[in-house]
A and B are shown apart, each in its own frame.
Chain A
Amino acid sequence: MPRLNSETHIRMEDIQKVYPDGVKALRGVTVDFRRGEVHGLLGENGAGKSTLMRILFGQIRQSGGRILIDGSQVGFNSPKDAIAKRIGMVFQHFMLVPSFTGLENIVLGLDVKGQSDFQNGVRGRALDFAERLGLKVDLDRVIENMPMGERQRIEILKLLVRNVNLLILDEPTSALTPFEADELLKIMKKLRGDGKTIVFVTHKLKEALSICDRITVVRRGLRIDTVYAKDVDLRALAKMMVGKEMLPEVRKEVTIPGKVLLEVRALSVRSDTGNEAVRNVTFEVRAGEVFGIAGVAGNGQKELVEAITGLREVEKGEVFVNGVKTTNRPPKDVYDLGLAHVAEDRFGRAVVPTLSVKDNLILGLQFKDQFSDGLLMKPSAVEENARTQIRDYSIMATEDTPVKSLSGGNVQRVVIAREFSKSPLLIVASQPTTGLDISATEFVRNELIKMRGKGKAVLLVSSELDEVLALSDRVAVMYEGEFMGVSRPEELDNEKLGLLMGGVKVE
């Protein structure tokens, strides 16, 4: 059985990707993929690894650089072209038609002969592959009724039936149970044995080490290094993945944490796909402290925040805000108890883009005596409030400007102005500085510290490690729905953090 052979199958040379709004997702990455290897692509969220692979799959076009297959240059206009060149990708969020059966999904778009029995030819081949690789599938079951692991196997069969030679797996274990993940790794080993090339995109260190032959670490759009798995250990990888970063000094005064304002007990929450996104999480946040939740996005943070803020159903466990049970109560109730939510999805949730600044500044507050008398709004009060907020929070807009024409930084100022001026007891801030420039980022961070100084409890969720470390009094790393331990930032160095974020419990 052919094993590692040093012949380069596919080479991505000096790939750059700049988006229309100026964001540089890839800044010149060069990577070689060899036949018969499992090549890990390791990095944090936003590092650029998914972008790189989507370029290889023809979904995105690169701004610079070229792709070579067996030495000759190729260009892709669509996934169809990539598939024609025997490159396939299994996405993190499966691209399957939920109401079709497994076989129907495999057959979809395939050039098959015959009309009424067109499926059977493919069925035979699919079953062959399944048997050889030990894939347990029921081809006639409808996708909706399949567990995640089986759906993924259908995705893989889709590619195999199309004679794909290079398989890209994008965060393949993110939707799987640990058992299913083990099964997947076994399958990948078998595929490698068949001479297929596999690119394994992940942020999970242990998996990368256990299955990959070589690992390329990507950070902030650049390739840091490509190493043989046998030459490195978890710590070395962690260091490469996380790196050092200078952050403008945030001065934090000493505070004495007071009463418990948020208590989360044995919380379990399901994601949209039905998996357990949050598993048995327990923690508390006190007045005058910042409790940070670090971790790569997609490990349950979103669902945790939504459960606390009343936007998602809680399956098990309880949430208490200021001592009052708020489990499964609607947002309005939680707000009344003193919770402020700086939402992750700025334009989609935290504001109504078509409404004006002044209208957005009272979103969630429109029932309050200050702004309405129960039936009618008080327009002058709304205007007055808007003018004050604009001044106090330096929002670059007039009160009548529609929010959709504001920059990201200004929108966040609006959100913070609104949420913080509610005189909240507890602030939940989720990914508050994503997409913001330096000054806006500084502004947000300073405001959070200010609130802490005023004795508020702050729950900060962020995948920006430096941010979490600099601002928090205590930090928990979230991985696959669980807390990997709560510590003080001083106790954690980048290496330890990388390990925790990669799923390794550290003493």
Chain B
Amino acid sequence: MSDILRRNRGRILRTLESAAIIAFGFVVSGAIMFAVGYDPIAAYSAMFFGNKERGMQGAFGGILGISSTLREATFIILTGLAAQMAFSAGVFNIGVEGAMYVGAFASFLVGYLFDAPAGSILSIVHALVAIVAAMIAGLAWIYVPAFLKIKRGANEVVTTIMLNYVATYLTELLVVKFFLPTTGVPPGGIITPEISPSAMIPQLELFGAKFNLGIIPTAIAAVIVFIVVKRSVIGYSMRAVGASPDAAKYGGIDVNKVILFVMLAGGAMGGLAGAIDVQFTGYRFNQAFSPGYGSSGIPVALIGRLDVVGVILAGLFMSALHIGAQSIQPVTGMPREVSSLIEGVIVFSAALPGAIDIIRTYLKRRGVKNE
């Protein structure tokens, strides 16, 4: 037993650290809520378990809640994986949001412009091509900031955030210009017509709630990321570059190539997330489809650390946080933006290496590990 503990000590410590920042986030936010005059306990319980009287399900309190939580988790696990890959090589990839928009639009285009007879091999091909188009679009979108970082030393944080805005406006422009009536925006928002049925991937109906199959590509992506990071040659290079670019160079690794790789991979995953929205759930391109899935990837990666399982769990957690927050308003009166409050404190604490080290030495001294 102690042998297993020792071998996994790194992982256990990291999990405890993540748990600590999450707990810290809840405690500080709870204190703020309380200070303002609200009931944090009621809020948290409504968030996760819902509130029968008000008819809210929270994240896990009912089938609708669970399905919503899983739906969002599908997206932010993907974007979290994208961010994680970048982190492990020492880079920040905040451009996943933009890649998502561009990918979603590409998926829509291919889905809308083409058609295939239902149930045929061609329709499977159609769907796959649309997905691949989305990934390529996402990848291409990220290429610009990645290239600028490598060749011109341009700060990738700023360029990716800028391009995120550009992506949202650009896609909006294209939708408004080509797919909306000239009379203005219809009540449904800035949305396109539906894609061809051959590009759609059906959803499952279980117990009155809809579950989309986006979990499958996400799971595949998670497995691939795991293999790449932990077992592949390039994963080895990534970890070396992230830890010590000098040593990596000495070890014969082309640092620029590695940076390019992780950024582009992140872009492709972002594109995939976009395709999931268009082909697996919404069946059209909806300008407002992402309440910040791309940016949520960062806290997910920060909490999940450099561990695919961690990212999955963190993704589920963050998703629960967001979905659950919608139940808070009817129950306690607080706005659902309190999820941002909690998330903000969590990310904030994750930024403090000093704090993490303090926690680490505290845990060590407490004898959590048996030397």
A and B directly contacting (CB within 8 A): yes
Is A400 within 8 A of B227, CB to CB?
no
Is A331 within 8 A of B233, CB to CB?
no
CA distance A349 to B232 in the complex (A): 22
Q: Is A248 in contact with chain B by the CB < 8 A criterion? A: no
Q: Is B250 in contact with chain A by the CB < 8 A criterion? A: yes
Kindly specify which of A95-103, A135-143, A373-381, A489-497 makes contact with the partner chain: A373-381
Q: Contacts A330-B252, A331-B252, A377-B233 known; A349 to B227 CB distance under 8 Å? A: no
One digit per residue, 1 when the CB lies within 8 angstroms of any chain A CB and 0 when it does not, for chain B 244-279 equals: 101111111010000000000000000000000000
Is B246 within 8 A of A349, CB to CB?
yes
Is A355 within 8 A of B243, CB to CB?
yes
Kindly specify which of B53-61, B135-143, B145-153, B234-242 makes contact with the partner chain: B234-242
CA distance A400 to B237 in the complex (A): 18
Which single member of A350, A375, A400 contacts B247 (CB below 8 Å)?
A: A350
| Identity of the chain B residue whose Cβ is nearest the Cβ of A309 in the assembled complex | B250
Q: Is B366 in contact with chain A by the CB < 8 A criterion? A: no
Q: Is B231 in contact with chain A by the CB < 8 A criterion? A: yes
Which residues from 340 to 395 on chain A have a C-beta closer than 8 Å to any C-beta of chain B? 341, 343, 345, 348-355, 359, 362-364, 366-367, 372, 374-377, 379
Measured between beta carbons, the chain B residues less than 8 angstroms from A330 are 252, 254
Is B240 within 8 A of A363, CB to CB?
yes
Measured between beta carbons, the chain B residues less than 8 angstroms from A355 are 239-240, 243
Q: Is B365 in contact with chain A by the CB < 8 A criterion? A: no
Measured between beta carbons, the chain A residues less than 8 angstroms from B239 are 352, 355, 359
| Identity of the chain A residue whose Cβ is nearest the Cβ of B248 in the assembled complex | A352
Q: Is A332 in contact with chain B by the CB < 8 A criterion? A: yes
Q: Is A311 in contact with chain B by the CB < 8 A criterion? A: yes
Which single member of A311, A353, A366 contacts B237 (CB below 8 Å)?
A: A366
Which single member of B227, B235, B250, B254 contacts A311 (CB below 8 Å)?
A: B250
CA distance A353 to B237 in the complex (A): 14
Q: State how many angstroms separate the Cβ of A27 from the closest Cβ of chain B.
A: 34
Q: Contacts A348-B246, A352-B243, A352-B244 known; A331 to B236 CB distance under 8 Å? A: no
Measured between beta carbons, the chain A residues less than 8 angstroms from B177 are none
Measured between beta carbons, the chain B residues less than 8 angstroms from A353 are 243-244
CA distance A363 to B248 in the complex (A): 8
Measured between beta carbons, the chain B residues less than 8 angstroms from A332 are 252
CA distance A350 to B247 in the complex (A): 6
Measured between beta carbons, the chain A residues less than 8 angstroms from B236 are 359, 362, 366, 377
CA distance A325 to B191 in the complex (A): 62
One digit per residue, 1 when the CB lies within 8 angstroms of any chain A CB and 0 when it does not, for chain B 209-230 equals: 0000000000000000001000
Q: Contacts A331-B250, A341-B250, A350-B250 known; A376 to B243 CB distance under 8 Å? A: no
CA distance A374 to B231 in the complex (A): 11
| Identity of the chain A residue whose Cβ is nearest the Cβ of B10 in the assembled complex | A402
Interface centre among A341, A363, A367 (most CB of B within 10 A): A363
Interface centre among A351, A362, A374 (most CB of B within 10 A): A351
Q: Is A76 in contact with chain B by the CB < 8 A criterion? A: no
Q: Is A483 in contact with chain B by the CB < 8 A criterion? A: no
Measured between beta carbons, the chain B residues less than 8 angstroms from A354 are 243-244
Q: Is A335 in contact with chain B by the CB < 8 A criterion? A: yes
Q: Contacts A331-B252, A332-B252, A376-B227 known; A352 to B233 CB distance under 8 Å? A: no
Is A364 within 8 A of B251, CB to CB?
yes
- Bin chain A's interface residue count: 20 to 34
Measured between beta carbons, the chain A residues less than 8 angstroms from B232 are 375-377
One digit per residue, 1 when the CB lies within 8 angstroms of any chain B CB and 0 when it does not, for chain A 485-505 equals: 000000000000000000000
Which single member of A364, A375, A376, A400 contacts B250 (CB below 8 Å)?
A: A364
Is B249 within 8 A of A331, CB to CB?
yes
Is A363 within 8 A of B233, CB to CB?
no
Measured between beta carbons, the chain B residues less than 8 angstroms from A366 are 233, 236-237, 251
Interface centre among B233, B235, B237, B239 (most CB of A within 10 A): B233
Measured between beta carbons, the chain B residues less than 8 angstroms from A375 are 232-233
Measured between beta carbons, the chain B residues less than 8 angstroms from A400 are 7
Q: Contacts A330-B252, A331-B249, A341-B250 known; A348 to B244 CB distance under 8 Å? A: yes
Is B252 within 8 A of A335, CB to CB?
yes
Measured between beta carbons, the chain A residues less than 8 angstroms from B240 are 352, 355, 363
Measured between beta carbons, the chain B residues less than 8 angstroms from A362 are 236
Q: State how many angstroms separate the Cβ of B52 from the closest Cβ of chain A.
A: 49
Q: State how many angstroms separate the Cβ of B237 from the closest Cβ of chain A.
A: 7
Q: State how many angstroms separate the Cβ of A403 from the closest Cβ of chain B.
A: 10
Measured between beta carbons, the chain A residues less than 8 angstroms from B249 are 311, 331
CA distance A375 to B227 in the complex (A): 10
Q: State how many angstroms separate the Cβ of A45 from the closest Cβ of chain B.
A: 22
One digit per residue, 1 when the CB lies within 8 angstroms of any chain A CB and 0 when it does not, for chain B 170-190 equals: 000000000000000000000
Measured between beta carbons, the chain B residues less than 8 angstroms from A377 are 231-233, 235-236
CA distance A348 to B246 in the complex (A): 7
CA distance A345 to B243 in the complex (A): 15
Is B231 within 8 A of A331, CB to CB?
no
Measured between beta carbons, the chain A residues less than 8 angstroms from B235 are 377
Q: State how many angstroms separate the Cβ of A454 from the closest Cβ of chain B.
A: 24
CA distance A350 to B243 in the complex (A): 13
| Identity of the chain A residue whose Cβ is nearest the Cβ of B236 in the assembled complex | A366
CA distance A349 to B254 in the complex (A): 15
Q: State how many angstroms separate the Cβ of A59 from the closest Cβ of chain B.
A: 25
Is A343 within 8 A of B250, CB to CB?
yes
Is B252 within 8 A of A351, CB to CB?
no
Which residues from 299 to 314 on chain B have a C-beta closer than 8 Å to any C-beta of chain A? none
| Identity of the chain A residue whose Cβ is nearest the Cβ of B233 in the assembled complex | A372
Q: State how many angstroms separate the Cβ of B228 from the closest Cβ of chain A.
A: 9
CA distance A350 to B248 in the complex (A): 9
CA distance A99 to B252 in the complex (A): 34
Q: State how many angstroms separate the Cβ of B293 from the closest Cβ of chain A.
A: 30
Measured between beta carbons, the chain A residues less than 8 angstroms from B247 are 348-352, 363
Q: State how many angstroms separate the Cβ of B282 from the closest Cβ of chain A.
A: 35
CA distance A376 to B233 in the complex (A): 6
CA distance A354 to B232 in the complex (A): 18
One digit per residue, 1 when the CB lies within 8 angstroms of any chain B CB and 0 when it does not, for chain A 40-69 equals: 000000000000000000000000000000
Q: State how many angstroms separate the Cβ of B41 from the closest Cβ of chain A.
A: 40
CA distance A364 to B239 in the complex (A): 13
Q: State how many angstroms separate the Cβ of A299 from the closest Cβ of chain B.
A: 22
Is B252 within 8 A of A364, CB to CB?
yes
Q: State how many angstroms separate the Cβ of B276 from the closest Cβ of chain A.
A: 26
Measured between beta carbons, the chain A residues less than 8 angstroms from B227 are 376
Q: State how many angstroms separate the Cβ of A171 from the closest Cβ of chain B.
A: 25
CA distance A198 to B239 in the complex (A): 50
Q: State how many angstroms separate the Cβ of A348 from the closest Cβ of chain B.
A: 6
CA distance A350 to B235 in the complex (A): 19
Which single member of B231, B244, B250, B252 contacts A379 (CB below 8 Å)?
A: B231
6 pairs from A and B in contact (CB 8 Å cutoff): A311-B249, A330-B252, A331-B251, A348-B246, A351-B247, A352-B247
The 6 A-B residue pairs whose C-beta atoms are closest, nearest first, are A332-B252, A363-B251, A364-B251, A354-B243, A352-B247, A352-B244
Which residues does A use to contact B, with CB under 8 Å?
A: 311, 330-332, 335, 341, 343, 345, 348-355, 359, 362-364, 366-367, 372, 374-377, 379, 400
Told that A311-B249, A367-B252 touch, could you supply 6 new A-B pairs with CB distance under 8 A?
A348-B244, A349-B250, A354-B243, A376-B227, A376-B233, A400-B7
